[in-house]
Structure 1
Amino acid sequence: ERFGTGGTALTYQTSTFYTPVEAESDQPAAAPALRTQHEAWAENHPDYRIDVSYPAFGQWKDNLLTSAAEGNPPDGSTLDSQWVADFYEYLQPLNDYVEDIDDFFPFVRETTMRDGDLLAAWKYTGCRCLYYRQDVLDTYNDGDPPETWEELLAVGQDIVESEDMDGYMFQSSTALANLPYFWSSGGELLDDEGAPVLDRDANRRALVDALGFIQDLVETGVTPQRVASIEEVEALPREGRAGNLAMFVGNNDQIERNLKNVVEDDDDIPDDRWERWRVARIPRPADGEHTTGVGGWTEGAFREGDSDGAAAMKEFIAKFVEPEAMGRYCEAAALLPTRESVFDDSDLYDPDSPYQDRFREFLQDGVARPARPIYSTIASEYVVAIQDVVTGQSDPESAADTMVANVNEEYEAP
């Protein structure tokens, strides 16, 4: 596949998720936006073309890292945001090609910038939030969503005692949905060098506190023990839509995909029932700060310099985060922009999805997954710790100690 018709080829790796060909795309609604973007680049660079390859996902990162280390990477590539740190030494600065870098949300700049250089163009994101039934909280909490753990436990118990529904649930099989408990307790996963620091007193205490809160949710009955078996991201909004759940932690796009729209073919629930649902920040400790986990994908350039093909590739990469291109793509794909200004311009970004202003607020509290290899171990061990606490197989202190030991052992292994 090629973008442009020029005689000089520039090599580029990406996912089939981002092909501009509707018939071949995993997100066909967004393909026209990408096609428009690439055509605009090609018109401005008639001497060049982008030769595209679609690597198999499983080995993509490792193979890309190997080729970069050997000095023969592609000219540019799509990168998961959590890969970026592993490529810092190979990615080329985009400062001269991307305008208004301060317009990006703080978590974007924190992840993609080093020593003042913008090394990756983060093109979209998403966040986690608290979904709650407004009509239920009108009865039990004066209409306000709980802001702290204590408030959540109190209102959750009132709901469970008086209503035929569960109070609060979360996807226990996903670390990113539950890391806000840890981050809001002041915890840090890694130091500046990428080494795990869960064994430091403050971080261990934050981990114990997060697991202790989860234990409290189950022991008080606010959260049923069966939360340990929740694996599908669609499971919780399905229960919420059916009237079986008052509050849950979910992704920003679930209001559109799983509550506003019909979940299953035989769903006979009235279409306006989604309007009972509102969104809020994930509850925090009384003395903590609100946080939310964020993800998304970026684009990066590996070709050095600023002349000829290097400049053409960097301009291709920069196109993904131009406000117009970002707004057009995010609206079509039901994703969130990484630039604050895009939310302000309805000509650029005006999705039919509700609560965009709230999601913008939540992104101010965004924390990205650490872009280090050890994160995968941290994530899997955190899920095990959560499920051990939920099922009563371990107490928070013991689960935290086991997690810390396993993470450190994996990091120190030759």
Structure 2
Amino acid sequence: MRKRLVTALLASAVAFAAASSQAEDLVTKSRIGPADAPKSLTFRLTGDGPDSTHPEWAEGYKKLFGEFIQRHPGWKIELERMSDNIGQEQARMLEQAKAGRGPDCAAVDSFVLALFIGAGVLKPLDAYFTKDEINDLFPFVRQGITGKDGKIYAWWWDTDLRVLYRNKDIVPEAPKTWDELKAAALASKEKGMEGLLFNAGRWEATTFDWLANFWSQGGKLVDDQGKPIFAEGENREKFLKAVKYFKDLVDSGAAPKRVTTIMNYDELNAAAAAGTTALFIGGNWQYGQLKSILEPETFAQWTFSPIPGPTADQNSTGTGGWTVGAFSDDPDKIAMCAAIAKEVYSGPGNALQQQLPTSKAQYDKFEVFKTETNKAFAAALAHGQARPGVPIYAEISNQIQVMMGDVLAGTKTPEAALDAANAAVQAAYARQK
């Protein structure tokens, strides 16, 4: 009896190892599944996949996709990797989709989802998610994926927020106001650091990471009808106040002039790893990245706190995230796209990358989201604000990026830069109507 049991256990172990090996063999950086599979799907994705630049994520997605494709035999998924220039990539994909040349399935950034829905290039996914699953989403997520007809056109699988990271050995106390953050940054310079780092190059994160300073004052980018109003009345005053705050950080030396070249969150991690900064504004996902790239004793020096506002009781943070949407007219491909969103990303992908789930139930389902760190991030979502789900937001963001470059480089005054940005946005809005 014992011999038969041992033999059975060994056979089971061999079978499991063979299955695991087979799963890995089915996954490459550009293809999931056998090359000669009768059915195929093109999936355009970000770094959230087997080609991730973070080894732990790459291995994790290799396993997740390997198991996924074994549950869906007869398919191969051709992977198309986007570059890090997300705004440009999303704009290109939208134009391709309009012309009928888009991928079958793709990652769509939440900040441009309204453009894709409005253009009619995404297919409804209601049939693949239960009402309970949809109702369990955070309200801003549910609203973002729903079209005017009440149908959902993508699955928003992760969300995030921005926080202030600091090295406790150099900045012991969490700054609670703009003035306190500036003082802490200047004090860190006296200890050999380069001050506060943040995104200020020409990309979406420059807008999104800065918007917390505008939103914390109660500023609004658009009205209830989606009309741009950020340069009008009180919104103009609040907008200029937030822009001048960033300008003062650079002019005073509290932030280095090189922030205008920062266009990747990895640069902020690199500065932390190199020990050249003690303060930076980044995303919640970077906490896990810092843990993986820093020595334990160095990582222990780092913590995070809310992004300071003009006063201690004025706080806001941006909540973003990625969605998966289907462009194909083929019902089988639409179903396969929904399955990728549901089985690979929504839940397992969140846990792998420690990307905050958009569904309340998953905070209880996965142990990783029960940690004190992730509980703190989840609690901070209460102060979060999503970018307005209106088509004109993309142009507003583009013009804020241009404006920030001009103001921080000193080529335009904040007032002149705002007027130029508003003129361009209003012209674009008129064309959209």
Contact 1:241 1:259 in 2 (8 A): no
Whether 1:29 aligns to 2:57 is: no
SS at match of 1:132: strand
1:73-113, Cα deviation, whole Å (9 max, x unpaired): 88755433334223334545444532322332333223112
Counterpart residue identity of residue 109, structure 1: R
1:295 alignment counterpart: 321
2:348 alignment counterpart: 328
Counterpart residue identity of residue 345, structure 1: K
Contact 2:32 2:79 in 1 (8 A): no
1:37-86, Cα deviation, whole Å (9 max, x unpaired): 3443x37xxxxx65755568554321213339xxxx88755433334223
1:14 alignment counterpart: 44
Counterpart residue identity of residue 404, structure 2: I
Aligned length: 381
Residues 92 and 132 (structure 1), Cα distance of their counterparts in 2 relative to 1, 3 Å cut: same
Contact 2:49 2:61 in 1 (8 A): no
Query: Which structure shows the bigger proportion of residues in helix conformation?
Result: 2
CA apart distance, 1:30: 0.6
Residues 60 and 334 (structure 1), Cα distance of their counterparts in 2 relative to 1, 3 Å cut: same
User: C-alpha separation between the residues in 2 aligned to 1:248 and 1:78?
Assistant: 27
1:276 alignment counterpart: 301
CA apart distance, 1:213: 1.4
1:151 alignment counterpart: 180
- Give the unaligned 5+ runs of structure 2: 1-30, 83-88
Counterpart residue identity of residue 30, structure 1: Y
Contact 1:4 1:39 in 2 (8 A): no
Which range is displaced more, 290-299 or 314-323? Answer: 314-323
User: C-alpha separation between the residues in 2 aligned to 1:8 and 1:238?
Assistant: 44
Residues 74 and 216 (structure 1), Cα distance of their counterparts in 2 relative to 1, 3 Å cut: closer
Contact 1:124 1:326 in 2 (8 A): yes
The equivalent position to 1:397 in structure 2, one of 415, 422, 427, is 415
SS at match of 2:265: coil
Residues 17 and 232 (structure 1), Cα distance of their counterparts in 2 relative to 1, 3 Å cut: closer
1:170-223, Cα deviation, whole Å (9 max, x unpaired): 121132222222232323334455543333323322321210211232344422
1:306 alignment counterpart: none
Residues 51 and 193 (structure 1), Cα distance of their counterparts in 2 relative to 1, 3 Å cut: farther
Residues 298 and 192 (structure 1), Cα distance of their counterparts in 2 relative to 1, 3 Å cut: farther
Whether 1:98 aligns to 2:129 is: yes
Q: Percent identity?
A: 27
Contact 1:241 1:274 in 2 (8 A): no
1:67 alignment counterpart: 100
1:326-355, Cα deviation, whole Å (9 max, x unpaired): 2322333453332233232235x569x993
1:353-405, Cα deviation, whole Å (9 max, x unpaired): 99322332334444444555644433332123223332333332232222212
Residues 34 and 56 (structure 1), Cα distance of their counterparts in 2 relative to 1, 3 Å cut: closer
1:383 alignment counterpart: 401
Q: TM-score, normalised to structure 1's length? A: 0.74
1:252-279, Cα deviation, whole Å (9 max, x unpaired): 33333346415xxxxxxx5421111111
Contact 1:279 1:355 in 2 (8 A): no
User: C-alpha separation between the residues in 2 aligned to 1:373 and 1:16?
Assistant: 22
CA apart distance, 1:241: 3.4
2:158 alignment counterpart: 124
User: C-alpha separation between the residues in 1 aligned to 2:418 and 2:314?
Assistant: 20
User: C-alpha separation between the residues in 1 aligned to 2:356 and 2:280?
Assistant: 20
Residues 83 and 3 (structure 1), Cα distance of their counterparts in 2 relative to 1, 3 Å cut: farther
Which range is displaced more, 147-156 or 273-282? Answer: 147-156
Residues 121 and 221 (structure 1), Cα distance of their counterparts in 2 relative to 1, 3 Å cut: same
Counterpart residue identity of residue 187, structure 1: G
User: C-alpha separation between the residues in 2 aligned to 1:34 and 1:282?
Assistant: 36
User: C-alpha separation between the residues in 2 aligned to 1:90 and 1:235?
Assistant: 34
Q: CA RMSD in A?
A: 4.0
Residues 14 and 149 (structure 1), Cα distance of their counterparts in 2 relative to 1, 3 Å cut: same
Contact 1:13 1:74 in 2 (8 A): yes
SS at match of 2:218: coil
User: C-alpha separation between the residues in 1 aligned to 2:81 and 2:344?
Assistant: 30
Contact 2:69 2:75 in 1 (8 A): no
SS at match of 1:250: strand
Contact 2:160 2:356 in 1 (8 A): yes
Residues 244 and 324 (structure 1), Cα distance of their counterparts in 2 relative to 1, 3 Å cut: closer
Residues 76 and 243 (structure 1), Cα distance of their counterparts in 2 relative to 1, 3 Å cut: closer
SS at match of 2:278: strand
1:265 alignment counterpart: none
User: C-alpha separation between the residues in 1 aligned to 2:402 and 2:105?
Assistant: 37
Residues 4 and 179 (structure 1), Cα distance of their counterparts in 2 relative to 1, 3 Å cut: same
Which runs of structure 2 are paired with 1:8-407 in the superposition (5 Å)? 13-15=43-45, 27-40=58-71, 42=72, 52=77, 59-67=92-100, 77-88=106-117, 89=120, 91-99=122-130, 100-114=133-147, 116-138=150-172, 143=173, 145-157=174-186, 159-160=187-188, 163-173=191-201, 174-191=206-223, 194-258=226-290, 260-262=292-294, 270-286=295-311, 288-300=314-326, 310=331, 315-320=335-340, 322=342, 326-333=346-353, 335-346=355-366, 349=368, 355-370=373-388, 374-407=392-425
User: C-alpha separation between the residues in 1 aligned to 2:410 and 2:345?
Assistant: 49
Contact 2:161 2:317 in 1 (8 A): no
